Amino acid sequence: MGSRGRRAFLIGGLGVVAAGAVAGRDSIARGWWLLPGVRKPRQEGALDHAGASWSAASPANWRLADRPDDYRVDRIVIHVTQGDFASSVEAFQNPWHKASAHYIVRQDGHVEQMVRELDVAFHAGNRSMNERSIGIEHEGFVTRPQDFTDALYAASARLAADICRRYGIPADRKHLLGHSEVPGADHTDPGQHWDWDRYLRLVGELLR
């Protein structure tokens, strides 16, 4: 996700554009079948991960797709919000933000889904990676290792294992990567305090 300052600026416009965001979401929901290549029906509030809750991101922050039929899903990109959970949800609901992720994992282990997996979230700053990946945000700051709690690691690992199982994604560092590792990325998340060895071990154990 972008810098803390940019998020604060973008969130400030939320009230002005809220009505437009709702109207845009409703029009897309009604007209999905008119778009070429998009065939799968969508039900508002439907979840891809059983342990999640739903809050819809603004349709300005993601793109309708028909994955994995139109784009193969073979990557998971790990992000850190650089802000708290509530401000991150608000940012993804703000059409001026122009970014979102499929999921946000809170420090207490709660998982919020904001974009359906069949659709393309604007999370990686790279079109090809967006089209082939699921984006998972984690509440916290890259400079604060205490933000990466046991509950956060456990919930994210369950989510990642579920995604890997459903799409046949190997649970390794080639297929689970940080935002900073996306080609062309100018972000530093998840940063040096993210424990990749621990994370991959947890995911792998759940896939056995």
Q: Provide the annotated active-site residues.
A: 137
Contact 78, 142 (CB under 8 A): no
Q: How far apart are CA 111 and CA 59, in angstroms?
A: 20
State how far the alpha carbon of 59 is from the alpha carbons of 4, 142, 159, 207, in Å.
Answer: 22, 28, 23, 33
The DSSP call for residue 194 is S
Q: How far apart are CA 33 and CA 38, in angstroms?
A: 6
* Nearest alpha-carbon partner for 128 in 59, 188, 73: 73
Q: At what angle do helices 85-93 and 4-11 cross, to 10 degrees?
A: 60
The DSSP call for residue 157 is H
Q: φ, ψ for residue 61 (rounded to 5)?
A: -105, 10
Q: How far apart are CA 189 and CA 157, in angstroms?
A: 17
